[in-house]
Amino acid sequence: MTGEITLRELAGLDVEILKGVGEKRKASLHDYGIDNVLELLSTYPRRWVDRTAEARVSDLVPGQEALVLVEVRKVAKIPMKGGRSMVTVSVGDGSGRVTAVFFNQPWRARQLTEGLQIAMFGKADMYRGALQMTNPIIDLIGDRTGRIVPIYPQSEKAGLSTWEIAGWIENALERCKVRGLLDPVPIAVCEKYELVDRTTALWNIHMPESIALKNDARRRLAFDELLRVQLVLVGRKRAFERDSRGIKHIVDNKLVDRFIAALPFGLTGAQRRVIDEISTDLAGPHPMHRLLQGDVGSGKTVVAVAAMLTAVQGQHQGAIMAPTEVLAEQHFAGIRQLVAELQVPDPQNLFGDRPLRVELLTGRVTGEKRRQVLNDLASGGVDIVVGTHALIQDGVEFNSLGVVVIDEQHRFGVEQRAALSQKGSTTSTSDVLVMTATPIPRTAAMTVYGDLDVSVLDELPPGRTPIVTKWAAGPILEQLMWVGIRDAVAHGQQAFVVCPLIEESDKIEVASAETIYAELQVGELQGLRLGLLHGRMSSADKEETMNKFRDRKLDVLVATTVIEVGVDVPNATVMAVLDADRFGIAQLHQLRGRVGRGSIASQCWLQTKDPEVSSPRVDALVESTDGFYLAEVDLELRGEGTLMNSMQKGASDLKLASLRRDRDLIDMAREAAFSIVDADPTMVNNSGLLDELDLLLTPEDAEFLFKN
């Protein structure tokens, strides 16, 4: 082979070519998740220890966790009662000594031999006047002579030491020197963002001479990970714009003006800004592909209706797809109320105007009514249709579908979004607006939804009363919570009680909806009219219960998180979330948004059992009602692991990049991706990068690049 070495070539090299990797070590590496040289080189240290600046025994403080680099001085195995054992290991460095004690780990006596260099992490305590660590984490670092010691993730099953992994990585990098490693990122990009070259980055992530060099290496390799994701997303966005012909809507139309003028409230500045952004999209030649983020109650529905009415004015149709029948029916009722008196300007009509027609299409719309709605959709007799995934089923045809709105888009896949937009005509693609009430941190939006343009409603309409959130920890505050619910009901208001499980679970002792419902009827809420709502009920039973609650025939609704999305009962002013520490921040924020929807001041109680144990999630909810602030807190607390796993495609190789720490890199990678794709749409002049996308991302990700 000639030329610089590509990542694909490294992926094709079995680890057995490396010095010291025989059949036994090859099997251990396989258990560790490494089969080829690329997987080895992209197994990065989990920490780097500076020998000269930290990790000395003399710096240990009793009661605090710390890491020390030490030499094993003496090992003793002591038998105990019942066939158990204790291994004591005396270790030290030039500054002092400490004892490590291992219970029921007899193999430590074989592992930790005198003279061995180890990194030891644990909590130091005083025992009989001397420092001791119990069952500390041990990394064997061998005789690595560098000032900075890399420590790799370890696996007891694989039985590999950190110094063995470091040795194989060094061997692999040394053997790459003759041909050199290919760096496919354009030189201009590296220079603009002051990035080191890839070879330097790989050496310095594994064997840095200083922490500063390691930081430069991490920055470059994290940029590469983010650039690959952004190239896919930007490429998909540009391909969509290039290959799809949109409808050029008439945006200065009477219908939207009439709609806004007839609203019983004024638009917020954020709503006006977002309607303008959407209008610009609708007037253009490319189909709109926009994400609308708005906190609970920020007025997304009004914006969505304005977008659909733009389509109707041009003799096209609008459709809104919701994830559940309850939410679809609620949207239908809400939209019909918003447009109740609206007349569509129609030159074909003798009177110059005609009524706007809005219809519902879900699984519950059957028989003659369903046939009529389907016929009128196909003929153009229906202007706006509200529905569930029933809208994308075979047999549903539109006369000319102009604007598609998809609500709570995280509940639908890319394919379902596309299926509805393709229901338009054969010659054009419908404009798509996807909405979410789950605020997404900006970095996550750019990474997960990077193929969409993003609009944000960051202003609540006037007249919305703020929700006061309280933490009910322990029995005394819990009683205040129930008193608060009884007081609200006494004043003609209603309440929600939210529980994590439907039935009692032996494994997790958390509130069960059915148990709590039964207990409250004879306990704290005795005498009130209670209803029960959960996901295992039939659609008809759920609808009957919700209708009773809306019609004020129930005082309190005991429910699971089935009420999380879209349930709108303005008279409900109090919510109690039981075992609130079992919920995530986003879910608690969504649940809380079910109250405070009217003009009456509302309360949300977050109940936890132990008054001594605070929950950072509960603390954050008590502190703020700003969903975007909470989304950032959530990312900090949760880390991005879950977020990455929920990505629609790609980003499976984000090993170093962090959505929390690398906001600047995400901006740079996105900017670089646009410059690369715009200059070279099919990436014919960037074959090295294209090959890496094909290698490291899934076939679905790379597919759009090859379709040309």
- How many Cβ atoms are within 10 Å of 262's Cβ, its own excluded? 13
pLDDT in tens, 570-594: 899 999 999 998 888 888 988 888 8
CA dist 142 to 19, 135, 162, Å? 16, 20, 8
Q: What is the mean pLDDT of residues 106-118?
A: 89
The pLDDT of residue 469 = 95
Each domain of the chain, given as residue ranges in start order, spans: 53-145, 254-457, 467-629
Chain-centre distance for alpha carbon 612: 30
Secondary structure (3-state) at 161: coil
Which CATH homologous superfamily contains domain 53-145?
A: Nucleic acid-binding proteins (2.40.50.140)
Evaluate if residue 649 carries a pLDDT over 50. no
Evaluate if residue 177 carries a pLDDT over 50. yes
**Out of 69-78, 605-614, 650-659, 678-687, which region has the weakest mean confidence (pLDDT)?**
650-659
- Residue 162 CA to residue 149 CA, distance in Å, equals 10
The pLDDT of residue 700 = 57
- Residue 384 CA to residue 320 CA, distance in Å, equals 8
**What are the φ/ψ torsions at residue 459 (nearest 5 degrees)?**
-145, 130
Question: pTM for this one?
Answer: 0.70
More confident residue, 379 or 698: 379
- Residue 203 CA to residue 170 CA, distance in Å, equals 8
- Residue 155 CA to residue 214 CA, distance in Å, equals 24
Secondary structure (3-state) at 383: coil
**Out of 138-152, 228-242, 544-558, which region has the weakest mean confidence (pLDDT)?**
138-152
The pLDDT of residue 708 = 29
- Residue 586 CA to residue 637 CA, distance in Å, equals 12
Phi-psi sector, 140: left (phi>0), alpha (psi -120 to 50), beta:
beta
The answer to whether 692 and 7 are in contact (CB under 8 A) is yes
Strand partners, 29: none
The pLDDT of residue 218 = 97
Confirm or reject CATH 1.10.3720.10 for domain 254-457, answering yes or no. no
Residue 152 structure tokens: 């790799």
Highest mean pLDDT among 214-218, 230-234, 416-420, 459-463: 214-218
Strand partners, 151: 47
pLDDT in tens, 120-157: 888 899 998 889 999 988 877 766 656 788 888 876 66
Torsion angle in degrees (nearest 10) through CA of 426, 431, 435, 440: 110
Evaluate if residue 52 carries a pLDDT over 80. no
- How many Cβ atoms are within 10 Å of 173's Cβ, its own excluded? 18
Q: In what order do the strands lie in the sheet with 317-321?
A: 358-361, 384-387, 317-321, 401-406, 431-436, 289-294, 453-457
Taking Cα atoms as reference points, which of 118, 134, 108 lies closest to residue 55? 118
The pLDDT of residue 72 = 94
Evaluate if residue 205 carries a pLDDT over 80. yes
Q: What is the mean pLDDT of residues 661-672?
A: 91
Evaluate if residue 179 carries a pLDDT over 80. yes
Angle between helix 198-206 and 162-175 (nearest 10):
160
- How many Cβ atoms are within 10 Å of 77's Cβ, its own excluded? 14
- Residue 565 CA to residue 607 CA, distance in Å, equals 21
Which CATH homologous superfamily contains domain 467-629?
A: P-loop containing nucleotide triphosphate hydrolases (3.40.50.300)
Do 467-629 and 254-457 fall under one CATH topology?
yes
- Residue 548 CA to residue 552 CA, distance in Å, equals 6
- Residue 638 CA to residue 644 CA, distance in Å, equals 12
Evaluate if residue 370 carries a pLDDT over 90. yes
The pLDDT of residue 679 = 95
Name the pLDDT band for 599 (thresholds 50, 70, 90).
Answer: confident
Secondary structure (3-state) at 125: strand
**Out of 308-317, 378-387, 412-421, 549-558, which region has the weakest mean confidence (pLDDT)?**
412-421
- Residue 435 CA to residue 290 CA, distance in Å, equals 9
Provide the mean pLDDT of the chain: 85
More confident residue, 603 or 582: 603
CA dist 353 to 319, 330, 347, 400, 576, Å? 22, 27, 7, 20, 49
- How many Cβ atoms are within 10 Å of 117's Cβ, its own excluded? 18
pLDDT in tens, 410-468: 555 556 656 666 666 666 788 999 998 777 777 777 776 777 888 988 887 776 777 89
- Residue 333 CA to residue 407 CA, distance in Å, equals 15
The answer to whether 648 and 511 are in contact (CB under 8 A) is no
**What are the φ/ψ torsions at residue 597 (nearest 5 degrees)?**
-95, 0
Count Cβ atoms within 10 A of the Cβ of residue 207 and give its class: 0-12 exposed, 13-18 middle, 19 or more buried: buried
- Residue 197 CA to residue 689 CA, distance in Å, equals 14
* DSSP one-letter string for 168-180: HHHHHHHHTTTT-
Evaluate if residue 247 carries a pLDDT over 70. yes
- Residue 452 CA to residue 448 CA, distance in Å, equals 9
- Residue 453 CA to residue 446 CA, distance in Å, equals 9
pLDDT above 90 covers a percentage of the chain that reads: 46
Segment holding 431, helix H or strand E: strand 431-436
Evaluate if residue 509 carries a pLDDT over 60. no
DSSP character at residue 4: S
The pLDDT of residue 648 = 37
- Residue 98 CA to residue 60 CA, distance in Å, equals 9
- How many Cβ atoms are within 10 Å of 163's Cβ, its own excluded? 22
Evaluate if residue 646 carries a pLDDT over 70. no
- For residues 659-682, one letter each, b for 16 or more C-beta atoms within 10 angstroms of the residue's C-beta and e for the rest, the string is beebeebbebbbebbeebbeeeee
The pLDDT of residue 289 = 87
Taking Cα atoms as reference points, which of 373, 243, 369 lies closest to residue 317? 373
pLDDT in tens, 2-25: 789 999 999 999 999 999 899 999
Q: Which residue has the tokens 């430069």?
A: 216
- Residue 302 CA to residue 261 CA, distance in Å, equals 12
The answer to whether 673 and 237 are in contact (CB under 8 A) is no
Evaluate if residue 233 carries a pLDDT over 50. yes
Segment holding 204, helix H or strand E: helix 198-206
Phi-psi sector, 651: left (phi>0), alpha (psi -120 to 50), beta:
left
Residue 346 structure tokens: 């129609």
Torsion angle in degrees (nearest 10) through CA of 318, 322, 324, 326: -70
The pLDDT of residue 161 = 78
Q: Which residue has the tokens 């059915």?
A: 514
